[in-house]
């Protein structure tokens, strides 16, 4: 009887409405609020970008978004953001692993430090990183003899963006790692798995969705980052100009349509990339779906 009635109500629901019976009330207020919030805070401002862009001619838009300087900035912005996201995933996973798996004095302090990049004004971070990595800075003076220049190069941009993106990965991975049952590793080990196999075949698949989430967040944040990057990048045209900087430059020249055109190009591309990551993430989470 139970199965039969569930099936018929489910079917009925699919036919009439997408609301499902639930213990907690408040579907419509919650859903309505979500829709209004998304519209007012996200969709309306974003669509304003496209409306503003549309005030200009297609020809103007096209010349702006494909001008060599802007294209070079796309390359830097997307390249550096992807690289920073990648580095954040590797380093962030390591930090999360240490924070979850090991006990050491000062652990609570380290845990709190992780969030600091969230709170720090990004310009402060940018200035601090720049002074550290210039040729006579604390770290830069040791890298210079090796021929590695960080400040005022694309590498500097990656460093700044990693600094900003790292907490996203750590905070995404940490709870999932903490939830991963140690018995799984023991089970794998008694089945004959080496440590490396335990990591690649058991632990990694479990945290892969969280790593992808962290990567998407870090990448998205890095793409829009402005404050910390402009100091360490040096902003050399065609070399170390990030796209957000060009948008600000256009604004300062009162070329609003040009600025929004670049913003629109940036938005569309990052939306496609994030959508791709989301689809990928959904695929890695297939095992969590009920029957």
Which positions touch other proteins (CB under 8 A)? Answer: 181, 183-184, 186-194, 197, 201-202, 205-206, 286-291
Kindly state the smallest distance separating residue 288's Cβ from other proteins, in Å.
Answer: 7
- Residue 215 near residue 85, CB atoms below 8 Å: yes
Kindly state the smallest distance separating residue 202's Cβ from other proteins, in Å.
Answer: 6
Between 15 and 291, CB nearer to other proteins: 291
**In a 10 Å sphere around its CB, with 0-12 CB exposed, 13-18 middle and 19+ buried, how is residue 156 labelled?**
buried
Name the residue among 270, 166, 161 with its Cα closest to residue 211. 166
Kindly state the smallest distance separating residue 190's Cβ from other proteins, in Å.
Answer: 4
Q: How far is CA 149 from CA 25, 200, 254, 270, in A?
A: 58, 35, 35, 29
Between 160 and 212, CB nearer to other proteins: 212
Between 72 and 202, CB nearer to other proteins: 202
Kindly state the smallest distance separating residue 79's Cβ from other proteins, in Å.
Answer: 32
- Residue 160 near residue 232, CB atoms below 8 Å: yes
Between 201 and 238, CB nearer to other proteins: 201
Kindly state the smallest distance separating residue 191's Cβ from other proteins, in Å.
Answer: 4
Rounded distance between C-alpha atoms, residue 212 and residue 71, angstroms: 27
Kindly state the smallest distance separating residue 5's Cβ from other proteins, in Å.
Answer: 20
**CB neighbours of residue 248 within 10 Å:** 14
Please list, in sequence order, all residues whose beta carbon lies within 8 angstroms of the beta carbon of residue 122, skipping any fewer than 6 positions away: 164, 225, 226, 227, 228
Kindly state the smallest distance separating residue 181's Cβ from other proteins, in Å.
Answer: 6
Q: How far is CA 195 from CA 89, 100, 216, 231, in A?
A: 21, 18, 28, 43
Rounded distance between C-alpha atoms, residue 139 and residue 87, angstroms: 19
Kindly state the smallest distance separating residue 212's Cβ from other proteins, in Å.
Answer: 14
């Amino acid at each position: 009887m139970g199965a039969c009635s569930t099936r018929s109500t489910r079917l009925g629901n699919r036919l009439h409405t997408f609301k499902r019976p639930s213990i907690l009330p408040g579907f419509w207020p919650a859903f309505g609020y979500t829709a209004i919030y998304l519209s007012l805070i996200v969709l309306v401002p974003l669509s304003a970008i496209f409306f503003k862009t549309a005030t200009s001619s297609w020809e103007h838009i096209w010349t702006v978004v494909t001008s060599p300087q802007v294209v070079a900035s796309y390359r830097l912005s997307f390249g550096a953001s992807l690289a920073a996201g990648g580095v954040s995933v590797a380093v962030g996973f390591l930090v999360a692993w240490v924070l979850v798996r090991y006990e050491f004095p000062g652990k609570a302090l380290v845990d709190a430090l992780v969030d600091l990049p969230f709170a720090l004004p990004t310009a402060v971070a940018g200035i601090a990183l720049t002074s550290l990595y210039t040729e006579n800075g604390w770290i830069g003076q040791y890298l210079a003899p090796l021929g590695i220049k960080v400040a005022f190069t694309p590498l500097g941009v990656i460093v700044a963006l990693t600094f900003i993106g790292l907490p996203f990965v750590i905070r995404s991975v940490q709870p999932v790692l903490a939830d991963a049952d140690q018995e799984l590793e023991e089970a794998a080990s008694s089945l004959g798995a080496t440590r490396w196999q335990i990591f690649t075949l058991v632990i990694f698949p479990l945290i892969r969705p969280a790593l992808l989430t962290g990567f998407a967040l870090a990448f998205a944040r890095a793409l829009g980052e402005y404050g910390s990057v402009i100091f360490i990048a040096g902003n050399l045209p065609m070399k170390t100009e990030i796209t957000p900087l060009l948008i600000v430059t256009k604004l300062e020249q009162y070329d609003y349509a040009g600025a929004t055109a670049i913003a629109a190009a940036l938005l569309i591309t990052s939306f496609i990339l994030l959508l791709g990551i989301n689809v990928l993430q959904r695929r890695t989470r297939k095992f969590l779906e009920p029957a």
